[in-house]
Structure 1
Amino acid sequence: MSDVIDVSAEPSGTGCLECEDERSWWVHLRRCAACGHVGCCDSSLGRHASAHARETGHRLIQSFEPGEDWWWDYASEDWASGPPLAPPTSRPDDQPAPGPAGRVPEDWRQQVRAAGR
């Protein structure tokens, strides 16, 4: 799988790239192993990490949450593994999940449930 991983690709930011552009919010963050794109998880309203995988064919992601190092393969829909990626390896510790601070609505749990996530 080394052809789908670029260990030198830095994260695209500290939050979901598309949610930041939309001034939206996310539940958790995922990082593309091929290009460093940071997107929101499938529990988030935007589901931007999996959308990125579909649009680009970049199949492997790693959690971008502090203390988590697990991998997922969208192509096989199964757990995966990979080498250490370029730092940083997670969002900042002081950035909340869900996040970002100040944009998460009080009823975020209801919104996620209503969206079927």
Structure 2
Amino acid sequence: MALNVGGVNVRAQGAPNGRAPRCQHLSMPLGVEQGAPECAMCLILGLTWARLVVCLTCGWVACSDDSPGGHARAHYQETDHPVVGALETDTAWRWCYVHGRAV
């Protein structure tokens, strides 16, 4: 499919069946040791969190976007560490802040 972008025809680079292309940030070395299962910033500020996530680059544990503090996103904005994962070991859920989607 060709798109007209600013008067220039550009071929759309979508994936088959509407799936998003693989996130290249998953190729980064992972396997870091995670921190304590708590959001240090929430504890300091007296906030409670809805869910905790772990930075897959450095192991920092922080509250997710659905928590009042959103400290995991703040960590990404400060460090450019792109991918977080679920703190629970029974799920493989991961989120890429660069692409704004689960990966």
Could you tell me the TM-score, scaled by structure 1's length? 0.60
Match of 2:81 in 1: 58
Match of 1:22 in 2: 45
Structure with the larger RCO, 1 or 2 (CA within 8 Å, 6+ apart): 1
Within the candidate set 64, 87, 90, 1:67 is matched to 90
Question: 2:47–2:68: 8 Å Cα contact kept in structure 1?
Answer: no
Equivalent residues, number: 78
- 1:98-113 matched pairs, under 5 angstroms: none
Tell me the percent identity.
32
* Alpha-carbon distance in structure 1 between the residues aligned to 2:94 and 2:66: 16
* Alpha-carbon distance in structure 1 between the residues aligned to 2:41 and 2:30: 21
Query: How far did 1:66 drift?
Result: 5.2
Letter in 1 for 2:99: S
Letter in 1 for 2:34: P
Whose strand proportion is higher, 1 or 2?
2
Match of 1:39 in 2: 62
Question: 1:60–1:73: 8 Å Cα contact kept in structure 2?
Answer: yes
Choose 1 or 2 for highest CA Rg. 2
Could you give the per-residue CA deviations for residues 72-101 of structure 1, whole angstroms, max 9, x where no partner exists?
A: 100011221xxxxxxxxxxxxxxxxxxxxx
Could you tell me the TM-score, scaled by structure 2's length? 0.67
Letter in 1 for 2:73: S
